[in-house]
């Protein structure tokens, strides 16, 4: 019984999915820009680990619907694919 109360409180603390849309749109725009740009120096202070943390935080703090979760997974895949595309792609 105590565990279910904790889970209910945790669920109530999540931001609604509609609030996450603006953040997800921004993250999608920035990550796609990172993946498509040839100028990696423009993103030097915002490396892939930063964007992965932002996506993880969005998932942890928001009650995402299935389509939003799918977008997050696609963005994580895009970060991983771009990172694997060649040496020197990852910012330190």
In a domain, 8, yes or no: no
Instruction: Give per-residue pLDDT as tens, 53-75.
Output: 999 999 999 999 999 999 999 99
Contact between residue 90 and residue 48 where contact means Cβ atoms under 8 Å apart: yes
Phi, psi of 14 (to 5 degrees): -70, 145
* Greater model confidence, 85 or 80: 80
Question: pTM for the full model?
Answer: 0.70
Which is more confident, 5 or 22? 22
C-alpha–C-alpha distance, residues 40 and 38, integer Å: 6
Taking CA 15 as the corner, what is the angle to CA 14 and CA 18, rounded to the nearest 5 degrees? 140
CB 31, CB 58: distance < 8 Å: no
Instruction: Evaluate whether residue 4 is within a structural domain.
Output: no
Task: Report the distance separating Cα 57 and Cα 21, nearest Å.
Answer: 14
Kindly indicate the confidence band of residue 82, based on its pLDDT and cuts at 50, 70 and 90.
low
Q: Are 17 and 64 in contact (CB under 8 A)?
A: yes
pLDDT of 48: 83
1, part of any domain: no
Range of the structural domain that residue 40 is part of: 15-84
Q: How many domains does the chain have?
A: 1
Answer yes or no: is 6 within a domain: no
């Amino acid at each position: 019984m105590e565990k279910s109360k904790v889970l209910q409180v945790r669920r109530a603390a999540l931001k609604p999915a509609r609030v996450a849309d603006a953040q997800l749109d921004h993250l999608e725009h920035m990550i796609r820009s990172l993946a498509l740009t040839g100028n990696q120096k423009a993103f030097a202070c915002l490396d892939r680990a930063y964007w992965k943390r932002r996506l993880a935080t969005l998932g942890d703090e928001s009650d995402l619907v299935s389509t939003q979760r799918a977008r997050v997974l696609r963005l994580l895949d895009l970060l991983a694919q771009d990172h694997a595309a060649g040496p020197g792609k990852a910012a330190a």
